[in-house]
Every structure is written in structure tokens, then in C-alpha cells.
Amino acid sequence: MKFFIDTANLDQIREANELGILDGVTTNPTLMAKEGIKGTEAIAKHYLTICEMVDGPVSAEVLGTTFEGMVEEGKKLAAIHKNIVVKIPMTKDGIKAIKWFTDNDIQTNCTLVFSAGQAILAAKAGATYVSPFIGRIDDSSWDGVQLIEQIVKIYMAQGFMTEVLAASIRTPLHIVRCAEAGADVCTCPLPSILGLLKHPLTDLGLAQFLNDAKSMQ
């Protein structure tokens, strides 16, 4: 399973990248706004900085909602760097735009996916990635990981090439369960990635080893 970081914060991207396990980055308008990025030029500059930091796919979301608007905007985003993946919302115009980008060899990430039916449409349109939002599903008291399992099963049965990118990750356990469910990619906030490191027995064991090592010196 590939690890993407789900942020537009450069310090967090750097920290995750330094672990040596980072395969890519996803952003969305909320995450970009949180960093105070405003205006076409600043947005493009920020995406370029991220692309120069991480050698892997970087999802950049369109802000338009019409087919024509998404295509125009997506073309500009894709021109920023070869690793840009145009992120498109799961709407009727979005599906048309994904098909357009597929036909023009531009990678896409279909976002805001909450059902298997939507995931089938994204794959039919040739999306490179499909992003089911598992945390938001859990927030509505359904099981987000079950959706990942269902989509993985359907894509395998149908031979779809679209990669299942588990998004809206909230906890380290989400990452573990998505790996178990067969997600191709997990996009995670930094604390969830770092949370995978933690186990009290590791801390206790290390403390004991370090203490016993004193008698060896």
C-alpha cells in the first residue's frame, strides 16, 4: 500500500518525506485555504513547491464545477509539473471531465466518493485514483472501511485499473484496516502516520535495553 500525506502544510510534508516512506501528497481546497494560499499564482507556486519536495503524485483539486471550467483549470494544473494529478469531484460534469483527462493522458483523482456506485462510474471514466472518504462515513455512523472492501472487490472482479485511495483518514487504525482491506493507497494526516510508530511495549523494551546496555560499557 502506498502512503500519501493529506496536507498542504510544507513542514508536515517535509517531516513525512524525511521518514523515507512517502509516495505522494493529496490536497484539497480546505487544506490549501488553511495554509493561507490565495490566488492563481500563489496556488500554482505552492503546488510546484510540493512537487519539488516529494517525488510522487500530488493531487491538486479544481475549484470549478462545470465540465468546461474543470477541463480548463485541470489543464493548467497539469502543466505545473508532471506529477500533478487533477482532483475532480464526483459529479456528472466531474465524470465527463475525468473521461476528457483520461483521453488526454492526464492523471485524475475522483474525490468525494461515498458509495460503490460512484466508484464504478469513476473507474468507467478511467480515473487514476478513486477517493472514498472513510472518516466522513464513520462520522455518519457507517463503516467507511467496509466501503473500501466493497470497492476493492468490485475493481478486482471487473479488472478496473483505477487505484483505491482511502481518504479522510482519522486514525492509525484506519490505516491498518485500509491496508487489510486491500486499498492501493492511503492518504493520511501526519499524526495518523506517526501514530503507527507507537507501542508502549516498544518504549518499555527500549528503556530496558538502554539500561542493560550501561553494564556492557
Site for ligand E4P in 89-128 (CB under 6 A): 111
User: Which candidate in 38, 87, 92, 198 is catalytic?
Assistant: 87
Residue number, 70 or 199, with CB nearest to ligand E4P: 70
Taking the complex as a whole, how short is the minimal distance between the CB of residue 134 and ligand E4P, in angstroms? 9
Distance between CA atoms of 156 and 160, rounded to whole angstroms?
7
Using CA atoms, how far apart are residues 132 and 134, in angstroms rounded to an integer? 6
CB nearer ligand E4P, residue 191 or residue 215: 191
Burial label for 99, CB within 10 Å (0-12, 13-18, 19+), is middle
Minimum Å gap between C-beta 124 and ligand E4P is 20
- Residue 83 or 131: the one with the smaller Cβ distance to ligand E4P is 131
Site for ligand E4P in 150-169 (CB under 6 A): 167-168
Residue appearing with cell numbers 483527462: 101
Contact residue for ligand E4P among 101, 133, 155, 160 (CB under 6 A): 133
Q: State which residue, 29 or 215, has the beta carbon closest to ligand E4P.
A: 29
Contacts (CB under 6 A) with ligand E4P, residues 165-204: 167-168, 187
Residue of minimal CB distance from ligand E4P?
168
**Applying CB under 6 A, which of residues 75, 76, 81, 136 lies at the interface with ligand E4P?**
136
Sequence-ordered list of residues with C-beta below 8 angstroms from that of 131, at least 6 positions apart, any chain: 26, 87, 109, 110, 111, 112, 113, 165, 166, 167, 187
87 is catalytic: yes
With 0-12 / 13-18 / 19 or more C-beta atoms within 10 angstroms meaning exposed / middle / buried, residue 5 is buried
Give the three cell numbers for residue 120. 464504478
As a dihedral over the C-alpha atoms of residue 151, residue 112, residue 183, residue 95, rounded to 10 degrees, the angle is 60
Site residues (vs ligand E4P, CB under 6 A): 6, 26, 28, 111, 131, 133, 135-136, 167-168, 187
Would you name the residues annotated as active-site residues?
87
